[in-house]
Amino acid sequence: MNESLISRRTLGVTFTADGATVRVWAPLAETLSIRLCQQDLVIPLQNDGSYWQTTTDQLQSGDTYTFVLNNVERSDPASLSQPEGVHGPSQAIDTARFVWTDANWANIPLDEYLMYELHTGTFSPEGTFAGIEAKLDYFVELGINAIELMPVAQFPGTRNWGYDGVCPYAVQNSYGGAAGLQQLVDACHRKGLAVILDVVYNHMGPEGNHFTDYGPYFTNKHRTPWGDALNFDDTDSDNVRRYFVENVLMWFRDFHIDALRLDAVHAIHDESDLHILREIKQYTDLLMQETGRQHYLIIESDQNETRFIQPIASDGYGMDAQWNDEFHHALRVTAGGERSGYYADYEGIRHLAKSYRDAYVYDGTYMARRAKIVGKSTASHPGQQFVVFSQNHDQIGNRMLGERPSQLVSFSMQKLMAGAVMSSPFLPMLFMGEEWGELNPFLYFVSHSDPSLIEAVRQGRKREFAAFQTSVEAPDPQAEQTFDQSKLMWDRLTQEPHQTLFRYYQTLLALRKQSSLRHPNRESVAVVMDEVKQTLTLIRQHQPDASLVC
């Protein structure tokens, strides 16, 4: 491990007393200069192996710049800001300028996390970090204690879930940029809220993606649904790994992010002895030793393979927790209506009971859709390693019409599902608006500028839902209306039955904090299933004297 990475970012532009240091990994560059846009000045970088660098007093925080790479102008792969979007110049940002006021903040113990996933662009009327900040008292009133931001890395245009980001170090300009994010995190910490950031280390978005001009960021040794895999184990992969390790450290150190949610790690391909997730954990541990702050790594994985969440000391990758989609699938099937696609592998109440007991539904059992034995036993893993929910951005947004459960199941069923999540011996997560039964959909939306890409996304979406085709057309992902329709309608909170549901969520969250439910203790969970009556009784206990029957 390279301990010098802990104290400061080395990639991109960083500021010290000597001025700005510029550093970029570009083994494919023959020549490389930085062009300072305001000064209209071009400074050649010195080649130091596969890295290029220089130090200059001409570049100030806030200035824009580009790299001139083999005579072509490109943004910085480690750009912290793209004020004119992914196609524009990069902007130097001195992250140390932000004055933090959260010195007294200590991360919440993971087993007490009560999470709330939100999409910055559609959560508030403003669609910005400031819009979220205006709602912090609301979160406290609701009773959650950790917000999870869908990815904020710069993406094309202003409308995107965030998984098309192409500047993993840059904070989306239309959300409020780097300073806006720092401001939000600081404000959250003052209110006692932790911040989880969703990061995408399994692919980069297609538009504005110039990584291959710089170096072998990708390898054709492995393939993902988005094309060639990021290069974590092929030629020159050490520097790609370092690029992502520095990214992790940046969020924790320079943005005070409390936890990362790593998107779809099953699409991160790495056959080297030291898996990249394990290396990320090692560096995170080193950072935590250095700063005394606690940070968590939470993965999304569809593999049901416990090596991801096994501690490093037991030869695992050391991830703190993982999303457990299977609890969701079993719950939704139990709630009725869902049978097709990935739901086909899930029976209702029997699988829900299994998930309460065993976390994974498939834990060494044959799964028809994959036509193989899937999963491992989670017996030795505590409840806090599994994040559960009755809905999330994917489960809603990957439906053709983006319907939330509020549009699919009865009011009582919504309450029952909320209770099912909250009473589980796992970590509960809400999706923005579910607490008042928001009726607006959460649709898939983009705002690309490349016409052929727009068409490809449209067609892809149509193909995906060809089987579902009814009289209704799949909404156009590129249309502004699709985005607008997906915004939360805060007015509903003042109306019934939304208000009642909100109070129900408040009560549930309070109960979770004050009762035996507080501790996601898997050892003392009793699940009694009645298949005839289709009921499930859950007995949760933490201390011998206090048990709760749900």
User: What is the binding site for a copy of itself (CB under 8 A)?
Assistant: 27, 50, 220-223, 235-239, 269-273, 305-307, 315, 369-373, 376
CA atoms lying within 13 Å on the CB side of residue 25 = 19
Closer CB to a copy of itself, residue 339 or residue 369?
369
Q: Give the Cα-Cα-Cα angle 16, 200, 422 (nearest 5 degrees).
A: 115
Closer CB to a copy of itself, residue 182 or residue 237?
237
SS (H, E, C) 427-449: EEEEECCHHHCCCCCCCCCCCCC
Closer CB to a copy of itself, residue 239 or residue 390?
239
Helix (H) or strand (E) holding 453: helix 451-464
Closer CB to a copy of itself, residue 215 or residue 433?
215
Closest distance of CB 315 from a copy of itself, Å: 5
Closer CB to a copy of itself, residue 308 or residue 327?
308
Closer CB to a copy of itself, residue 23 or residue 222?
222
Helix (H) or strand (E) holding 509: helix 498-514
Q: Where are the alpha helices (DSSP H) in 230-387?
A: 237-254, 276-291, 325-335, 349-358
- Rg for the chain, CA atoms, rounded: 23
Closest distance of CB 365 from a copy of itself, Å: 12
SS (H, E, C) 100-133: CCCCCCCCCCHHHCCEEEECHHHHCCCCCHHHHH
Closest distance of CB 215 from a copy of itself, Å: 9
Helix (H) or strand (E) holding 186: helix 177-190
Name the token pair of 53: 């660098």
Closer CB to a copy of itself, residue 288 or residue 367?
367
Using DSSP bridges, classify how beta strands 41-44 and 46-48 pair: parallel, antiparallel or unpaired. unpaired
Catalytic residues: 263, 300
Cβ atoms of residues 402 and 396 within 8 Å: yes
C-alpha 351/C-alpha 287 separation (Å) is 40
Q: What is the DSSP letter of 385?
A: G
Q: What is the DSSP letter of 517?
A: G
C-alpha 372/C-alpha 459 separation (Å) is 31
Closest distance of CB 263 from a copy of itself, Å: 17
C-alpha 194/C-alpha 358 separation (Å) is 28
Closest distance of CB 307 from a copy of itself, Å: 6
Name the token pair of 491: 């007015």
Name the token pair of 166: 């192409």
Helix (H) or strand (E) holding 66: strand 64-69
Closest distance of CB 368 from a copy of itself, Å: 10
Closest distance of CB 372 from a copy of itself, Å: 4
